[in-house]
């Protein structure tokens, strides 16, 4: 794969790898990223290598197999009709959080916010130990059971109210809901982009496997005797 990428001058920059890694890290609560690495018995350096390999594969398939991975409108419409249940979007909430080590500290911060001494976002930036503190604790929108169990409490909150302290293995959380989106059935035009993405990815996988099989027959492959 790397031989072919070099032949076609397809490269992945360090910035692209770091950006993808940062996106992954943002999706974890405090300590969650390190816990994931430990569970998978890997390191950040190896994860970066995997990210680079994946980005390289995506660039190769996107560059070399444009026509083979096109998704006609008829395919998209057929998929939408045959998979209607996939396009019922669950209720979602837009949540900000503050994470501190103890319940006492969380209670103190909650009191300061509710009495107007400090805003929730300012408190998050100054005192939260979560990676999202730089964004004022903004977790974005999520559905129930999409994140850690503690966040499910947000679905019982009214907009602009602050939860009582909620404990998890990552610390003690204060949650604030700023917006709610009710469950709804997506229209075709709302679902189209996601269907195209899904079908294109499936085609890319098929084309890539066929291409890789040919490379294994025709490419220059060397065995590293020291590890093999």
Q: Any bridge partners for residue 142, and if so which?
A: 93
What is the pLDDT at residue 193?
Answer: 94
Which two tokens mark 37? Answer: 């690495």
Which residues partner with 100 through β-bridges? 172
Does pLDDT of 224 surpass 80? no
What is the predicted pLDDT for the residue at 226?
57
**pTM of the predicted model as reported, rounded to 2 decimal places:** 0.57
What secondary structure does DSSP assign to 11-66, as a single string?
---HHHHHHHHHHHHHTS-TTHHHHHHHHTT--HHHHHHHHHHHHHHHHHHHHH-T
Mean pLDDT on 214-219: 76
47-56 contacts, C-beta under 8 A, 24 or more apart: 47/21, 48/17, 48/21, 51/17, 51/20, 51/21, 52/12, 52/17, 53/1, 55/12, 55/16, 55/17, 55/20, 56/1, 56/2, 56/5, 56/10, 56/12
pLDDT at 222: 56
High-pLDDT (> 90) share of the chain, % = 62
Max Cα distance, the chain (Å)? 71
pLDDT, tens digit, 9 for 90 and up, residues 154-207: 999 999 999 999 999 999 999 999 999 999 999 999 999 999 999 998 988 888
Q: What is the pLDDT of residues 99-139, one digit of tens each?
A: 999 999 999 999 999 999 999 999 999 999 998 999 999 99
DSSP reduced 3-state for 100:
strand
Give the DSSP H or E segment for 120: helix 120-127
Residue with tokens 């917006």: 179
Model confidence at 28: pLDDT above 60: yes
């Amino acid at each position: 794969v790397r031989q072919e990428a070099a032949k076609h001058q397809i490269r992945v920059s360090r910035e692209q790898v770091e950006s993808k890694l940062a996106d992954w890290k943002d999706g974890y609560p405090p300590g969650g990223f390190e816990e994931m690495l430990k569970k998978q018995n890997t390191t950040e350096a190896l994860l970066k290598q995997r990210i680079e390999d994946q980005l390289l594969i995506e660039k190769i398939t996107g560059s070399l197999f444009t026509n083979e991975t096109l998704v006609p409108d008829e395919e998209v419409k057929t998929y939408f009709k045959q998979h209607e249940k996939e396009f019922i979007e669950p209720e979602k909430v837009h949540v900000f959080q503050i994470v501190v080590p103890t319940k006492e500290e969380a209670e103190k911060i909650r009191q300061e916010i509710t009495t107007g001494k400090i805003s929730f976002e300012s408190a998050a930036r100054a005192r939260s130990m979560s990676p999202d503190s730089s964004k004022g604790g903004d977790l974005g929108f999520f559905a129930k059971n999409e994140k850690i169990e503690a966040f499910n409490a947000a679905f019982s909150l009214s907009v602009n109210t602050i939860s009582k302290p909620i404990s998890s293995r990552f610390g003690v959380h204060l949650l604030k809901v700023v917006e709610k989106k009710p469950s709804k059935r997506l229209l075709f035009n709302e679902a189209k982009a996601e269907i195209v993405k899904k079908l294109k990815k499936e085609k890319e996988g098929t084309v890539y496997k066929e291409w890789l099989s040919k490379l294994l027959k025709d490419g220059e492959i060397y065995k590293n005797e020291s590890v093999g």
